Structure 1
Amino acid sequence: MFAEKGSLFDYKVIEKKYAQAILTQIRSKNTSQVEFRKGLVRLGRVLGLEIVEDFETEENPVETPLGVTYRGIKIKGFENVCIVTVLRAAWPLTEGLVKIFYSARQGVVAARRVEEKGMHGTEFDIEINYVKIPKFGGDDIVIISDVMVATGSTLIAVLRELLKRGRAKKYYIASVISTPIAIEKLRKFAQDAGIDLKLYTVAVDPELNSKGYIVPGLGDAGDRAFGT
């Protein structure tokens, strides 16, 4: 169930046993780089399947090889999906999402927290170095792939960049771990920007440490996924 139904912002925690078992594995400090990446890919598929459940459907009658009409369904908007990957940790997560949204257009945003300046309260300065996204408009659905949503600063900066380039019908965030702080910031941003925004996450961890890392978290997901 969504936490806030009917508002411009909703979020959903994926509590399925399969997802939670994978999350437990990748939280472990003993999980190898390869298994960590595989875990993110698997969670990307889970998140994709959950997001699809929020899409509308319409009747789609088809004739089977036996000459019988089957009244099936078609997923509305499925061919109008654009997946935007927040570099670099989210690449494996996107790989899983694309297994579900196989016809999606793709874009990337290279964004980083300026950690050398430190955290200002619950905010980081965000530096965006590169943006390459397809054109999108009012019939399109944008899915932003970002593994860790800690303070929400990076995602809000990415959303601002996307809004400079167009306005989609709906926006989804696919994440592995989020925090209450980020959820509240995204709620406020969605209301202020007037966008339909939904966050899907596998866990909501309770706190941030002094460096802005999620606790208990995953550590540095980019370093763990790419062995750096």
Structure 2
Amino acid sequence: MIIHSLGKGNSLLNKFVAEIRDAKIQKDSMRFRRNIERIGEILGYELSKALNYRSQKVHTPLGTKEMSLPSDDLVLCSVLRAGLPLHQGLLNYFDNAENAFISAFRHHRGDEDAFEVIVKYFAAPSLENKTLVLTDPMLATGKTLENVLKALKDHGKPKQIHIVSVIGSQSGIDHIREVFPENTQLWIAAIDLELNNKGYIIPGIGDAGDLAFGEKL
């Protein structure tokens, strides 16, 4: 797996990541969603450099210009519900992409820390020979993305997979490195080293879905 950890350098990206981490600023759910969306736009721009391009003539009112334009058939697939703002950020740039959505959630049995990831809803076009962009803002244990990959198998084999996340844990990244194809590329804004005993990223941000859309039962 090729890992692009974009927060290592100095850029405006780090300002948006700092704001979604900040316990005071993140209470503004509208700003939280917008910051995730802006992070998605930046990650999408960087991802675009790894796509395939073809030369195409563009006709202006005064002449013709040869330009290199993206040629991949993209499918953006996001994990509900936390992935929606990140999905929108990518869709702002890849506006011709097809879209897929999948629900995956942690199921804890009683008060145990252990959990399983359950996939219940999936809507997607054919993925055969297309470029698949999987978006999940928090890459914690990697189990969600592993289960998403299993659910995708009946929809065709993509020629390339890109994963887009905001914050990930090192152990989660190590896990998906083992289960995804070798040529998969990960685009991520920040990597934290720790997980707590419940599988949440430390220091992380908390629950991205709750921060974006409110607490759930």
Q: What TM-score results when the alignment is normalised by the length of structure 1?
A: 0.87
Kept after mapping to 2: 8 A contact 1:108/1:133: yes
Matched residues in 1 for 2:58 and 2:102: separation?
Answer: 40
Matched residues in 1 for 2:75 and 2:183: separation?
Answer: 15
Letter in 2 for 1:87: L
Partner of 2:52: 56
Partner of 2:203: 216
Partner of 1:47: 43
Kept after mapping to 2: 8 A contact 1:171/1:195: no
Please, which runs of 5 or more residues in structure 2 have no aligned partner?
none
Kept after mapping to 1: 8 A contact 2:56/2:67: yes
Mapped pair 1:22 → 2:9: no
Matched residues in 2 for 1:105 and 1:58: separation?
Answer: 20
Structure 1 residues 66, 111: closer, same or farther in 2, change over 3 A? same
Partner of 2:131: 141
* Cα distance per residue 1:128-148 (max 9 Å; x no partner): 11111111211x111111010
Partner of 1:94: 87
The 5 Å alignment of 1:137-216 reads 137-138=128-129, 140-190=130-180, 194=181, 196-216=183-203
Matched residues in 1 for 2:69 and 2:188: separation?
Answer: 26
The alpha-carbon deviation at position 195 of structure 1 amounts to 5.8
The alpha-carbon deviation at position 211 of structure 1 amounts to 1.1
Kept after mapping to 2: 8 A contact 1:169/1:196: no
Kept after mapping to 1: 8 A contact 2:125/2:155: no
* Cα distance per residue 1:11-53 (max 9 Å; x no partner): 1111351111100011011121111111111111111111111
Matched residues in 2 for 1:168 and 1:195: separation?
Answer: 13
Residue-pair matches, total: 210
Kept after mapping to 1: 8 A contact 2:136/2:165: yes
Kept after mapping to 2: 8 A contact 1:208/1:214: yes
Q: What TM-score results when the alignment is normalised by the length of structure 2?
A: 0.91
The alpha-carbon deviation at position 71 of structure 1 amounts to 2.7
Matched residues in 1 for 2:165 and 2:199: separation?
Answer: 17
Matched residues in 2 for 1:74 and 1:178: separation?
Answer: 31
Partner of 1:127: 118
Structure 1 runs, 4 residues or longer, greater than 3 Å off: 61-64, 116-120
Matched residues in 1 for 2:177 and 2:19: separation?
Answer: 30
Matched residues in 2 for 1:103 and 1:61: separation?
Answer: 19
